[in-house]
Amino acid sequence: MFNKMSVGFDEYWMPTTDNIGYPPYNLIEESKNVYRIEMAVAGFAKDSIEIFEEDAKLTIIGNAKEDNETGDVLHKGLAQRKFTREFTLAPSIEVTEAKLENGVLILRFLKQAHKNRKVIDIA
């Protein structure tokens, strides 16, 4: 079993930890070297989501804009609270796509055999 918050480490054993539940997401292995994260972000616009990669971590931050709704809200079932999700990326993982489609943030990853390979010359 691998950590649900990690991408590309499936060949290594890592303890499973998932201490937050919002927003919900799916981690899908599309093929041997292609992964996809689908994250439910209904009510968030492109400009209210920030995605960046730093220090082998992919961070997704959501800041929903406050609606100036007219009238009384009788029921508010869509959770549009601020969130931060972090995913640990294996050194061989490259983020290839990010898109927002029908309230779902879709991120695709490619696992490269030798992304960070460095050849050492013998002196």
Q: What is the CATH number of the domain that holds 20?
A: 2.60.40.790
Q: From residue 30, how far is each of 1, 16, 86, 110 by CA, in Å?
A: 18, 21, 21, 10
- How many domains would you assign to the chain? 1
Which value, to the nearest 10 degrees, does the dihedral of the CA atoms of residues 119, 32, 26, 108 take?
60
Q: What is the pLDDT of residue 68?
A: 61
Q: What is the pLDDT of residue 123?
A: 63
pTM of the predicted structure, to 2 decimals: 0.72
Please indicate, yes or no, if residue 120 is contained in any of the structural domains.
no
Please indicate, yes or no, if residue 53 is contained in any of the structural domains.
yes
Query: What residues have CB less than 8 Å from 114, skipping those under 6 apart?
Result: 92
Residue 22 or residue 98, greater confidence: 98
Q: Which two tokens stand for residue 53?
A: 């990669």
Please indicate, yes or no, if residue 122 is contained in any of the structural domains.
no
pLDDT class of 30 with cuts at 50, 70, 90? very high
CA angle 39, 102, 31 (to 5 degrees): 55
pLDDT class of 15 with cuts at 50, 70, 90? very low
What is the span of the domain harbouring residue 102?
A: 6-67+78-111
Q: What is the pLDDT of residue 8?
A: 64
For the segment 71-115, what is each residue's pLDDT rounded down to a tens digit?
787 887 776 789 999 998 888 888 999 999 999 999 999 988 765
